Amino acid sequence: MTLEELGFGEAEQLALERGGWARADCARVIRAERGQVVVLGEQGEKMLVIPGSLKGADVAPTTGDWIVGSPRGAVEAVLPRRTRFVRRAAGLRTEAQVVAANVDIAFVLTGLDGDFNLRRIERYLTLVGESGAKAVVLLTKAAQAEDRELRLAQARTVAPSADVHAIDVVDGIEPDAPRAYLGPGITAAVLGSSGVGKSTLVNYLMGQTVAKTNEVREHDDRGKHTTSRRELFLLPGGGAIIDTPGMRELSVWGDAASLDVSFPDVARLAACCRFRDCRHVREPGCEVRAAIARGELTEERLASYVNLSEEIAATERARLEKERRRRR
Ligand SMILES: Nc1nc2c(ncn2[C@@H]2O[C@H](COP(=O)(O)OP(=O)(O)OP(=O)(O)O)[C@@H](O)[C@H]2O)c(=O)[nH]1
Ligand SMILES: [Mg+2]
Ligand SMILES: [Zn+2]
């Protein structure tokens, strides 16, 4: 097993040299558990303890991270992340939680069996846009959809900068489409609500059952979570894929610029509004309203954009407030 087979690249090499660390001590986190991580490196798998200094939600090593291990079996350092998915930690605390790191391709899955929801796709795409990874939307269970072409067209309107495919890995509709995005050195991750088929896709791409899937095929789109942790698997054709549990509550975390990636159409229009702080409600010279009037943008997509920007602004304010208090 070489580090390159695990996705190690120039950025990681540089970080190791800067820190004066040995390549032999470097490994990739394949699973994060309470207080410890399971890593894979040149010497195979091992378990390392997370020291107190690395326990905060935003600094703790997470699945996909590159770390340096100490001789005493602890994580000594986490290498800078090329990309990272950050969400607002569930619960009341205003805290960013890094859920996966160094992902190049994020497959955003939505089921065509009743789970279909454009607003949720926009939310996931904002999370991905903020991460720095490239998003690919996969509409799963395509064999069960009577209106597949319509759904594809709708999904494309909310994902203007992503590829969109309708697939079915169980009933064989373009099951290999995702493979075009994979390959040596590339790390992918599957994201989406519980039951959309993330683990099923991972198993298909792996060519064997590595992840548990929900065997109950009754019509219960919002069933219990089957996957309970994020885990990285090495793909037979090279590269890696991270399976994740469906997130029950997905609050995005980021800065306003992340919306330029997930809403390039709205952002482009908004930049042309007469007032810089236009709220696109009733202001004169509003290009966003004009586009809605022309039928080029839906009212729902604008509402979703406004919602997410307010959410992001609120987390930004909370973050700044926290920093200010810390500095006092
Ligand atoms: N027909 C069909 N069924 C699918 C497809 N993908 C997944 N399923 C079924 O959907 C159910 C849920 O799939 P999982 O892979 O466990 O879903 P998941 O997204 O991993 O769910 P969590 O782990 O709970 O987040 C299983 O019964 C699968 O067999 C598909 O493309 N076609
Ligand atoms: Mg799963
Ligand atoms: Zn406007």
Report how far residue 232's alpha carbon sits from residue 224's, in angstroms, rounded to the nearest whole number. 22
- What pLDDT does residue 56 have? 80
Q: In angstroms, rounded to a whole number, what is the distance separating the alpha carbons of residues 286 and 74?
A: 56
| Ligand positioned closest to the Cα atom of 272 | 3
CA 221, 223, 227, 230 dihedral sign is positive
CATH number belonging to domain 4-80: 2.40.50.140
Neighbours of ion ligand 2 (CB under 5 A): 198-199, 226-227
CATH superfamily name and code, 258-327: Probable gtpase engc; domain 3 (1.10.40.50)
pTM score > 0.85 for this model? yes
Give the pLDDT mean for 105-117.
91
**pLDDT, position 221:** 47
Residue 217 CA: nearest ligand 1 atom is 27
At residue 174, the 3 state secondary structure works out as coil
Please state whether 138 falls in left (phi above 0), alpha (psi between -120 and 50) or beta: beta
Residues 6+ apart with CB under 8 A from 15: 66, 79, 80
Length in residues, the chain:
328
Judged by its nearest atom, the ligand closest to the C-alpha of residue 192 is: 1
Closest-lying ligand to the alpha carbon of 225? Answer: 1
**Structural domain boundaries in the chain:** 4-80, 99-243, 258-327
- CA 80 distance to own-chain centroid: 17
Ligand 1 centroid, distance to 32 Cα (angstroms): 23
Ligand 1 atom having least distance to the Cα of 244: 25
Test site for ligand 1: of 151, 168, 200, most ligand atoms within 8 A of the Cβ: 200
Could you tell me which of 225, 240, 256, 246 has the C-alpha nearest to residue 102? 240
Q: How many whole angstroms separate alpha carbon 116 and alpha carbon 138? A: 11
Band the pLDDT of 72: cuts 50, 70, 90.
very high
Find out if CATH 2.60.120.470 is the number for domain 99-243. Answer: no
Measured from the alpha carbon of residue 200, the closest ligand is 1
Phi, psi (rounded to 5 degrees) for 72: -90, 10
Q: Which residues line ligand 1 (CB under 6 A)?
A: 140-141, 143, 168-171, 194-200, 213-214, 217, 225-227, 245-246
Q: Are 292 and 299 contacting, i.e. CB atoms less than 8 angstroms apart? A: yes
Give the tens place of pLDDT for each residue, 253-305. 777 788 888 999 999 999 999 999 999 999 999 999 999 999 999 999 999 99
Distance 313 CA to ligand 3 centre (A): 18
Residue 60 sits at φ, ψ, to 5 deg, of -60, 140
State the pLDDT confidence band at 316, using cuts at 50, 70 and 90: confident
Ligand 1 atom with the shortest distance to the CA of 246: 25
Same fold, 4-80 and 258-327: no
Instruction: Give the position, in ligand 1's atom list, of the atom nearest the Cα of 167.
Output: 31
Atom of ligand 1 lying closest to residue 227 CA: 23
Tell me the per-residue pLDDT of 197-231, one tens digit each, with 9 for 90 and over. Answer: 999 999 999 999 998 888 755 555 455 678 888 99
* Secondary structure (3-state) at 67: strand
* pLDDT digit string, tens, across residues 30-55: 999 889 999 999 999 999 999 999 98
